Amino acid sequence: MVEETETIIEAQVEVAEQTPEVAVAQETLDFSVTQLEGVGAMTEKKLTEFGVSSIIDICIRGAAEVAEITGVAKSKADNWVFKSQKILEEAGLIRRTDMGTVELLEYQENYDTLPCKCDDIDKLISGGVKPEAIYEVYGEFGSGKTQFCNSLTVEAINAEKNVIWIDCEDTFRPQRIIEILKAREYVEDREEALQYLERISYYYTPNTEQLMGTINSLSSILAEKKPRVIILDGAVGQFREEFLGRGTLAARQNQIARMMTHLKNISFYFRTTIIFTNQVQSDPAVMFGDPIKPIGGNIVGHASTYRIYFKKAGKKRIARMVDSPEHPMADAEFLLNNKGVDNLE
């Protein structure tokens, strides 16, 4: 088994050297969980029943969930996650966790940013959304959250990159994507636009069970499509709707925490961008200033790399960078029209 694993890793390194952009997912799925010490046929069967079929799945689910699935001690599951991550690092398939500061700076400066092509918003987010990051976009209905996602989707598919769209509110409209493609003069007619739509993998998840099932089964589609961005429209709101009353608060937050952990790991191990739109609520304790805050609590806030607040201001809209590891709080003004999010006239 050791010799077989070494052979596989050598093959992956060779592939990684041939393709500097590193198509992570496809190669990683060749790494069976049985190469981990202590994972025999019975344990493999348990993991497979829960959609864990590779070492990258081990990393995405995390030690606590793997221990829960298999019944092993968490310390043993921690070791499996650690060993899996080291295999991926040594194969050159993920960023090393022991990078020096200068090396990390150079790595991040070479990020493939994806713009929305609205100048003010792109300036706000330093040219576009980055891989290995989670963007929370929150605001009232009609504030431009979904249109921002639509615009990013159009830019991705126009660059011949794939998108995964998980629709939790049944509001995704392919017609709108076609409208933006035409308005931005990327296509001339419907037939040409349909070819672009093929780059979007769409999932409708009407409840939290289907949402979590979709997220847990993403590895195979990620391996095949290698998406530049994954969009979840209204995900946190589903937990709010299904877990009613204060008595369900702990269970709701546990489920949200599990989802955010999976998404954070997916963004890292597959080098992609996660964007999720979030609903808001009014905080009655706020006497002065804006009482609007996103739902989901601190769990969502801590898991998000960037938090952007979208709000209405008459005919125009405002996007505010609320939280970021690198940006100061700042505003961007924009319009909503047939181009999606657009510059002020």
Comparing 1-15, 44-58, 115-129, the range with the smallest average pLDDT is 1-15
Structure tokens at 281: 């609520």
**Together in a domain, 76 and 119:** no
CATH number of the domain that residue 83 is part of: 1.10.150
The tally of domains found in the chain comes to 2
**Together in a domain, 22 and 60:** yes
**Together in a domain, 228 and 310:** yes
Q: Is residue 101 part of a domain?
A: no
Checking if the pLDDT of 140 tops 80, the result is yes
Q: Which amino acid is at 158?
A: N
Q: Which of 55, 90, 125 is the last residue of a domain?
A: 90
Nearest to 275 by CA among 227, 334, 320: 227
**Together in a domain, 65 and 141:** no
In this structure, the number of other CB atoms found within 10 A of the CB of residue 334 comes to: 25
Show the domain range for 8.
Answer: 2-90
**Together in a domain, 6 and 126:** no
pLDDT of residue 24: 46
**Together in a domain, 243 and 319:** yes
Cα distance between residue 121 and residue 115, in whole Å:
9
**Together in a domain, 163 and 304:** yes
**Together in a domain, 49 and 119:** no
CATH number of the domain that residue 337 is part of: 3.40.50.300
Structure tokens at 326: 């690198």
**Together in a domain, 21 and 150:** no
pTM score, two decimals? Answer: 0.87
Q: 150-185: string of b/e by CB count within 10 Å (b at 16+)?
A: bbbbbbbbbeebbbbbbbbbeebeeebbbbbbbebe
Cα distance between residue 177 and residue 304, in whole Å:
26
**Residues 6+ positions from 6 with CB-CB distance below 8 Å:** none
pLDDT of residue 27: 46
Q: Give the pLDDT mean for 173-194.
A: 97
**Together in a domain, 70 and 129:** no
